[in-house]
Amino acid sequence: MTDDQQVLGKFVWRDLVTPDIDQAIAFYSGLFGWTIKEADMGPMGTYKMIHTAGTEHGGFMQLDASKGAPPHWISYCTVPDVAAAVATAERLGGKTLVPPADIPGVGTFAMIADPNGAVISPFKPTTWAGEGITQPWPAGTFCWQELLALDPEGEGKFHSEVFGWKIAPQDMGPMGTYYLLKRDNGIDGGGMLQKPAGSPGPSAWIPYVAVENTNDSAARITELGGKIWVQPTDIPNVGRFAVASDPQGATFAILGAILGPSS
């Protein structure tokens, strides 16, 4: 496969790192209708994958409590060379959490943190699959990736060099500046905004999942034991979103259509 066929700077997979995989599966399956497909990983055990809209989109990994990290989502973004991406991250002040490693038949990955602690995985697949699912996103599929950044300017430069994005600031009025992370083909790779003042913890990447009705899904989150941090809110010309955490504390967001005045 030639280089021009590689789909770069695209988020292609998400893993939930959690202390109780069965509880997490029950929560997200009840919320999004996900089913589980199991893969035998040999000495690594059985890997449980998220199956929806006819294919797999992510999976569940056991949290090692001894590492001191809370439950969290990890997102994988494509690069042409994982070792080079890691070297760039370290040169720019990032940290390598997991050095480049091969997953037989899948690809090569690593785990890095930017200078303000946002964790992400550079990933080079064994087989490039093209763009895959695009707008309109089927309900239950991952549809966006957003960086809550302590330092949008500095972190934008960091991730642009690692993943090849171009930063496109957008004036969102009272909501402030939103930074689109544009890939070389002009498609948005994700977004970034200033982390709210007083919010605890490091910078963080948050995955968004498409839903049919944001209000209904937000209510369902609380019914299933999760917590809503940002109530359903309209983004003009984009959709209606909410930010939540699952019962074990991992943060995620949902995105649906803007509702009519009578909804």
Whether 115 and 167 share a structural domain: no
Residues 226, 35: Cα–Cα separation, whole Å: 19
pLDDT at residue 83 in the model: 98
pLDDT at residue 108 in the model: 97
Whether 182 and 87 share a structural domain: no
In a domain, 106, yes or no: yes
User: Could you give the angle at the alpha carbon of 83 between the alpha carbons of 37 and 60, nearest 5°?
Assistant: 20
Whether 30 and 91 share a structural domain: yes
CATH of the domain at 108: 3.10.180.10
Which domain covers residue 197, as residue numbers? 142-256
Of 90, 125, 160, at which residue does a domain stop? Answer: 125
In a domain, 228, yes or no: yes
| Count of the separate structural domains present in the chain | 2
In a domain, 96, yes or no: yes
Nearest alpha-carbon partner for 6 in 124, 167, 104: 124
In a domain, 188, yes or no: yes
Residues 48, 132: Cα–Cα separation, whole Å: 21
Burial of residue 263 (CB within 10 Å: 0-12, 13-18, 19+) is exposed
pTM for the model = 0.92
pLDDT at residue 175 in the model: 74
What is the pLDDT tens value at each position of the chain, 263 positions in all? 344 478 899 999 999 999 999 999 999 999 999 999 998 877 767 899 999 999 899 999 999 877 778 899 999 999 999 999 999 999 999 999 999 999 888 999 999 999 999 999 999 999 887 777 777 889 999 999 999 999 999 999 999 999 999 999 998 877 789 999 999 888 999 999 999 888 888 999 999 999 999 999 999 999 999 999 999 999 888 899 999 999 999 999 999 987 654 33
pLDDT at residue 149 in the model: 96
Of 81, 100, 125, at which residue does a domain stop? Answer: 125
pLDDT at residue 237 in the model: 83
In a domain, 262, yes or no: no
